[in-house]
Amino acid sequence: MDNRKIYRMLLASPFLLLLLLIVYCFYTGRGQHRKPTHEELDQALLRYMQSKYAIYEDTFTIDKPGDVVWGSGDLFYPSTGEYELELELKKYPKRRLKEKVVIRYNFEENTLLDTYMSYVLRDQVEERFREIFDQVYEPDTYELVMSAPGVPWNNCNFSASTDIEEYLVKTIYNDIGVKVVRDSDYRDEDMKKLLRELKKRGYGIDGGIYYMTRAQYDKYNSRDKWLKSGEHTYEEVVHVTWKKGVEDYGIYHWDTDPY
């Protein structure tokens, strides 16, 4: 068997292990079918993640018991057919409060999606976006942070071997937070430059740009503390969204009083 076949089998094996557990639960117990318990599913999903991403030598722990994902506003058929589990990880630090690795198992489609590669590739994503924002702001006047998605992207079954090129091609948009020492009067001009650069590279964005004074900017002594704290002051914030492949984009801005 050649190396490529072995590698594909290793990538598939975590999913096969999970499916075997589920099949086992359905066909055990005095000849009666039964669904796996939440605890059994949680442990199976945990082992799946440990096996799938073993190459990164990370440590996964269950944040809280998993549960079925319920659809909002649907009284009669509220279940989405998905089960979600949140995991804490040790190797990659949080950029925002409450960031968790999320894994979703779709019962009906037998598919598994997770957000782990967003943590693995985060530094590279940030570097790509700095190349864009360097065309908008002076490099020493801003800081940029990517926040990991709260749920896995649909149809984005990233593997342990996914590289930055594949990630950015498949990801519709990225949650980018920027704080910049700049007069907000330049906002409209800045956004035109930003949109041009985003379209040129094809990187989607859904994030916030905080225009600050030097005193507000210097208040936090670490690169991501201003987002992690959840309490920061600014003169104006611009929420900008652009999904790649779409001509239209959204820009929303508002002033705020200091905390």
Cα gap 196→132, rounded to integer Å: 9
Band the pLDDT of 106: cuts 50, 70, 90.
Answer: confident
Band the pLDDT of 257: cuts 50, 70, 90.
Answer: very low
Q: Which residues pair with 180 in a beta bridge?
A: 142, 211
Closest by CA position to 233, among listed 221, 216, 208: 216
Residues 6+ apart with CB under 8 A from 69: 79, 80, 82, 83, 84, 104
pLDDT tens across 16-51, in order?
A: 556 555 544 544 444 455 677 888 889 989 999 999
Q: Who has greater pLDDT, 219 or 251?
A: 219
Instruction: Let me know: does 244 contact 172? Beta carbons within 8 Å.
Output: yes
Q: Which residues pair with 114 in a beta bridge?
A: 103
Domain definitions of the chain by residue range:
3-114, 121-255
Quote the pLDDT of residue 111.
Answer: 85
Average per-residue pLDDT for the chain = 81
Quote the pLDDT of residue 24.
Answer: 44
pLDDT tens across 199-250, in order?
A: 899 999 999 999 999 998 888 766 656 666 566 788 999 999 888 777 666 6
| pLDDT higher than 70, residue 116 | yes
> CATH number of the domain at 121-255, please?
3.10.310
pLDDT tens across 162-178, in order?
A: 999 999 999 988 999 99
| pLDDT higher than 50, residue 5 | no
